[in-house]
Structure 1
Amino acid sequence: MNTPTRVLSIAEGYLGHRTYGDLMRNYFNQSPNCQTDFYWYNEERELPARIINRFLSLQIPNPWIQTQNLDLHWFRIQLGFAYLAKRLAVRKLKQFEYTALHFHTQILGFLSLDLMKSIPTIVSLDMTAAQASRLKTTPSWRWTYTPNLYLEQKVYETAASVVAFSEAAQRSVIEDYNIEANKVQVVYPGVNLDRIQAVEKPSSRVSQPCQILFVGGDFERKGGPDLLAVFLENFTEQAELHLVTQAAIACSHPRVHIYPNIRAYTPEWLALYHQADVFVMPTYAEPFGWVFIEAMAAGLPIIATQLSAIPEMVSHGETGLLIQPGDRVALAHSIQTLLQNPTLRRQMGDRGRKVVEQKFDAQKNFHTLESLFIEVADKPHHQPFAPALTSKGALSLKS
């Protein structure tokens, strides 16, 4: 008699990862085919683990050092996450007989290679350290990501399967870490299309101020200062700006509205998408960009930047407009284009909704992930061969 599929899933729990985890938990709670026990990486923290994690997260208070990653802050934070995940996984694996293990994201597996060798493991991710190094630091300081790259490669080699959120992340796993292509597949995250509906805007809205929406917790990294400056300089007579962010923003203009405590899939969150006419987030660095598919599901045209996985979501001229990060002139021109053309806004929004229905439906995409869980759990598991890290392609930091 075959052992029923039972998966232990441990996930990061902040920003977009929290949304992904909540959606995944809702899906698997209703699945009769794959029992998945879901935990956030920092659940049931023991006191020693809390102390170690706090120590690892300390940061040198120097902006230049932080920008160039010289204090290895992200690596230390990730080690703390990995330690909490390892302690949690060990406890749960002692309590039940699991047929597969799932880590989201890859960093949670940094200290669990021994567990991954003993139980088939699926690793899912939105962005690799190689991608992050190219986005966040100048070429001369990318060596500071070497420890992240080393442990990530070990995780990818040891995992039974690697799931990437985008083709951009998939290419990075294969090319930057020398991982076999047949081991890495794209399973896009998705949105709950039953909860996010596109709303038909009444024709009377055309004569009213256009409603511009921005959603981004890390206001500076997401290009919030660019959008705010461009709006205040050019569009206060034509539009209103709605900023959903946790950042402290000093702006008292009557047409700038700030929402610091909005959570995804709440009525207040959904109302902001439904009242908006345009979604704008000119981000400088983005692992995936969940908010873009949420806004597209709500039928909004998008203004975004042409980097990472964003072009896989937003097609320039079709579902939105793409610019280069930091180009305020192009940002102003793109906003003006959509403000002046409500027909184009509606057409782009309609196309965006169809793209989400075809490509980013959470129900369909979690079904694909579930099939992978079952497939990996049913395969005989052998300790994988770990090649020496001498390949020219391995651990490379490409410009």
Structure 2
Amino acid sequence: MTARFAFVLEQTLGHVAHTRNLERALAATDWIDGTVVKLPYEPRGSLERLPGLRNWSLRASLMARSALRRRLGEGGLDAAFIHTQVAALLSAGVMRAVPTVVSLDATPANFDEVGEAYGHRRGQPLAEAAKAAVNRRAFLAAAALVTWSRLAADSLVGDYGVPAARVRVIPPGVDLSLFRPVERPAGADGLVRVLFVGGDFARKGGPDVLAALQGVPEAEVDVVTGSERVQVPASVRCRVHRGLRPGDPALLDLYRRADVFALPTRGDCLPQVLAEAAASGLPLVATATGAIPEVVHDGSNGFLVPVGSPSDLRLALRRLVDSPTLRQAMGEASLEVARRDHDAMANHRQIFSLLAEVSQLDSAIRQTNHPFEARN
């Protein structure tokens, strides 16, 4: 039998690549009749530019609810998938009619913990209580929830009262056919190549990378960013790359040429570039903010350093620069983490299986010729 699923996804930041990987997995699966709805971040018309609709939470929720109602008007659905919870806030009624899996990278409580780095501040107590209530209503209306990290899963249970049995940790993963280790050519003059990828140069810790490398003359750095202001110290060998999108061949080439990946971010929940770097077989140096320790295992596949400490970052980079053996061992450990936890194709199959489970189609599908496997 064929399952009828609708997938509604935000198109902001790393969620674009998440959608692309989901579509790739759908194309390789023959038991799902899937509808994919993409929610664009940029306002599409004059109506969406009205003051109230400039709020992304409201705009995304309205778009998602409208899309799901429209899809239901075209025919029945067995289950729906909404990413993120921001888009699910106004769809509790739809979720009561159609078993729905809500996916999220972080809860609002998680974001509050790292929000200072984004310029975000908690509101007044009454406003925060209302925000928590609205999110709790959406979470509890879902048949199941998927989080990108254990940190977010624990927050759903502890901060929002979601039963633990309804929560699954399934990272979004990366395309392992694109992000993969290669035999790395030696850098110019035998220098060790460090890679930094962060759209927001300051928040992602770019200045700390450049400051740390002033004490590591044996290294050079490639900086991939969307920021215009990057002040490079005269003593640091640095190339700045702008305008590279996720999956860009030039970006993939930088991963393949790198020896070490550094992201000493000031605040993040779970930056996907770490999974990309791990899949590329790189040792990782990052801070322990958000769920980063779930990807960077200190002393195993990289090092965790304090936030805002170029001196500690320098020590970690120095250890990797000085030891090709350590770089290789940690790179191999990163690759193991990526293949086990961050294979986008395998992880999306888990999501498809969960949708079949909540729609109570799982036993019926298993009895047909369409098991929970992708076509070869």
Into which bin does the TM-score normalised by the smaller protein fall?
Answer: 0.7 to 0.9
Q: Using the alignment, how far apart are the partners of 2:25 and 2:81 within structure 1? A: 15
Match in the other structure for 2:226: 246
Alignment size in residue pairs? 356
Distance in 2 between residues matched to 1:295 and 1:261, nearest whole Å: 19
In structure 2, which of residues 28, 36, 39 is the aligned counterpart of residue 30 of structure 1? 28
Which AA in structure 2 matches 1:343?
T
Say which SS state the counterpart of residue 359 (structure 2) adopts: helix
Which residue identity does 1:326 align to in structure 2?
G
Structure-2 separation of matches of 1:14 and 1:36: 21
CA distance in 1, matches of 2:40, 2:74: 18
The match for 2:156 among 158, 173, 186 is 173
Residue 140 of structure 1, CA deviation: 7.5
Q: Distance in 1 between matches of 2:44 and 2:205?
A: 37
Residue 90 (structure 2) pairs with residue 111 (structure 1)? yes
3-state SS of 1:367 partner: helix
Q: Which residue of 2 aligns with 1:375?
A: 357
* Alpha-carbon distance in 2 for matches of 1:207, 1:351: 27
Q: SS at 1:234's partner residue?
A: coil
Match of 2:325 in 1: 343
Closer, same or farther in 2 for the Cα pair 1:142/1:163, shift >3 Å? Answer: farther
> Structure 1 pair 46/308, CA: closer, same or farther in 2 (3 Å)?
closer
| Distance in 1 of aligned mates of 2:344 and 2:72 | 28
Partner of 2:79: 100
SS at match of 1:264: coil
**CA spacing shift, 1:331–1:147, aligned 2, 3 Å:** farther
Q: How far is the alpha carbon of 1:89 from its aligned partner?
A: 2.4
Identity of aligned residues (%): 31
Matches within 5 A, 1:124-203: 124-137=103-116, 143=125, 145-201=128-184
Deviations 1:224-243 (A, max 9, x none): 22223333x323x3222111
Change (3 A) 1:56 1:324: farther
Task: Identify which range, 352-361 or 274-283, moves more after superposition.
Answer: 352-361
**Which residue does 1:13 correspond to in 2?**
11
Partner Cα separation in structure 2 for residue 282 and residue 135 of structure 1:
14
8 Å contact from structure 2 (residues 41, 56) kept in 1? no
Aligned CA RMSD, in angstroms, stands at: 2.4
Deviates more, 1:319-328 or 1:250-259: 250-259
Aligned to 2:283: 301
Amino acid at match of 1:251: Q
* 1:305-316 equivalent positions in 2, closer than 5 A: 305-316=287-298
1:364 to 346, 351, 371: 346
TM-score, structure 1 normalization: 0.83
Deviation at 1:370, TM superposition (A): 0.8
Corresponding residue for residue 82 of structure 1: 61
- When residues 240 and 293 of structure 1 are mapped into structure 2, their CA distance, relative to the original with a 3 A threshold, is same
Tell me what 1:395 maps to: none
Task: Give the TM-score normalised by the residue count of structure 2.
Answer: 0.88
**Which residue of structure 2 lines up, in the alignment, with residue 385 of structure 1?**
none
Counterpart AA for 2:183: E
Alignment of 1:376-391 (within 5 A): 376-378=358-360
Q: Is the 8 A contact 2:8 2:81 kept in 1?
A: yes
Distance 2:299 2:188 in 1: 21
- Unmatched 5+ residue regions in structure 2? 363-376
- AA at the equivalent of 1:197: R
Select the residue among 309, 324, 341 that pairs with 2:306. Answer: 324
Give the deviation of 1:358 after TM superposition: 1.6
SS in 1 for 2:307: coil
Instruction: Report the Cα distance in structure 2 between the residues aligned to 1:122 and 1:213, rounded to whole angstroms.
Output: 36
In 1, Cα distance between equivalents of 2:244 and 2:223? 10
**What secondary structure, in the 3-state scheme, does the structure 2 residue paired with 1:10 have?**
strand
Instruction: Supply the distance in 2 between the matched residues of 1:102 and 1:370 (Cα, whole angstroms).
Output: 9
Deviation, structure 1 residue 29? 1.9
Contact kept? 1:43, 1:88, Cα under 8 Å = no
Match of 1:307, SS?
coil
Return the alpha-carbon distance in structure 2 between the equivalents of residues 148 and 331 of structure 1: 37
Following TM superposition, by how much is the alpha carbon of 1:379 offset from its aligned partner in structure 2, in angstroms? 6.5
Partner of 1:256: 238
